[in-house]
A = this chain, B = another copy of it.
Amino acid sequence: MRRKIGKQSIQLKHAPRITAAGTVVGHMENEGALTGHFDTVIPDDMWGQKTFEQCERLMFEQSVKLAMHKCGKRDGGVDVLLGGDLLNQIISAGFAARTLQLPFLGLYGACSTIVESLLIGSALVDGGFVDAAACAASSHFSTAERQYRMPLELGTQSTPTSQRTVTGAGCMLVCSQGDATNKNDWPESVDNVHVTGGTIGRVVDLGITDANNMGAAMAPAAADTLLAHLEDTGCSVDDYDAIITGDLGTFGSDMFAMLCEQHGIQVADKHMDCGKTIYLPSQDVVCGASGCGCAAVVLGAYILRRIEAGDIKKAFVMATGALMSPVSGMQGESIPGIAHGVVLERRN
C-alpha cells in the first residue's frame, strides 16, 4: 500500500487516533495563558529530586504514565515509546524509558522532537507495526540554560530575541483503530482526533549564528516544510483551519509569515505558535517560549481539546528544531533548523 505523496510527505490511510495526552509543567507555565489546562503542575524546579536533570526525567516519565492511565493502559499496554529531549544523549527520555520498561526508540530533533515522534509513531501504527505508540518530549528551563547557554547562577540578562525554555513534558498516545483499550474512560477524553498525514522536514540554514535568536534560525525550516507539504498534497492553506508551529516565538513567527508571503502564501490569519501561546506578556519572557516541551504540552493540553471540540477541524502542526550544539557554535557554525509536520483532523 503506497502511502508516500510527493517528495517529503506521507498519508496515513488508517488515520490512527490520538487517544490521550499527559502533560506535566512547571508553575510558571501554569500561570500563563493556559492555566488550568495541564494535568500536573510541579511546585518548583526540583520536584523533590536532587538535580534539575532528575526532575526533568521524572516529568517525562509521569507524562507517559498519565497518558497511559487516561486510556486504561497498564504495563505492556503500549508497544513502543518514541521520544527525546534537549539534554545531551537525551537522558531524560532514556532514563524514563528505563523506568517505564517500554520498547524505546530514541529521537533527536531538538524542539521538533514531539512532531518527529508523532510522525514516526503514527506511521508505525498505520503500517500495522505496533498497535499503540507513546510519543513524548520534554524540556526544563534550568537544565537547558546550563547546558546550552550560561549557568543560572550567573544571572545573565536575556537578549531582545531570546525565548524562555518551557519546563514541561508531554506525551500523546497514538493507537490503531482496532486497539483493545482504544476507549477512554477519562472525563476529558480525546475521542475524535486522528493523525492523517505528515511531512518529513529538511535541514534549512539561512546563516543565523545567535543562539539567543532561535526563532529566526527555525522560521525558514517551518516555511520550507509548509511549502513542501502544500506542494506534495496539492492542498492550500485554505484547506486547514490552523497552521500551528512549535516555538518560533514572536520574532520567528513574523519571519515565518514573511517567508511564506514571499511564496504567495498568506498564513497570518491561520497561524498559531505554541511558543507565543503558553506565557502571558506580563510574564516577561521576551519573545515567548521554546523547548521540546513547549509544543508537547501546548498540543497535549490545549490543541487536542480544540480539535476535539470542533473549533479546529483540520490542522497542520509543525514543530521546529534548531540542530546546533554549543560545540558547533563555538566552532563558528551557524544554526541549522528543521521542521516536521503532521496533519491532525477531527473525524467522527
Contacts and interface: CB of A to CB of B under 8 A. Distances in A.
A116 interface: yes
For this chain, the copies found in one complex come to 2
Nearest to A328: B91
A7 interface: yes
Contacts of A95: 203, 323, 328, 333, 336
A116 B80 CA distance: 13
Given A8-B103, A203-B104, A336-B98, A123 B127 contact: yes
Which of A51, A116, A325 lies at the interface centre, i.e. has the most chain B CB atoms within 10 A of its CB?
A: A325
A342 to B, nearest CB: 13
A202 B4 contact: no
A343 B331 CA distance: 40
Given A205-B98, A331-B53, A91 B323 contact: yes
Contacts of A205: 98
A229 to B, nearest CB: 12
Contacts of A120: 105, 120
Interface in A80-125: 80, 84, 87-91, 94-95, 97-98, 101-110, 116, 119-120, 123-124
B104 A107 contact: no
A154 interface: no
A16 to B, nearest CB: 12
Please name the 3 residue pairs, one residue from A and one from B, whose CB atoms are nearest each other, closest first: A127-B127, A94-B323, A89-B325
Interface of A: 1-4, 7-8, 10, 50-51, 53-54, 76, 79-80, 84, 87-91, 94-95, 97-98, 101-110, 116, 119-120, 123-124, 126-131, 147, 200-205, 323-328, 331, 333, 336, 338, 340
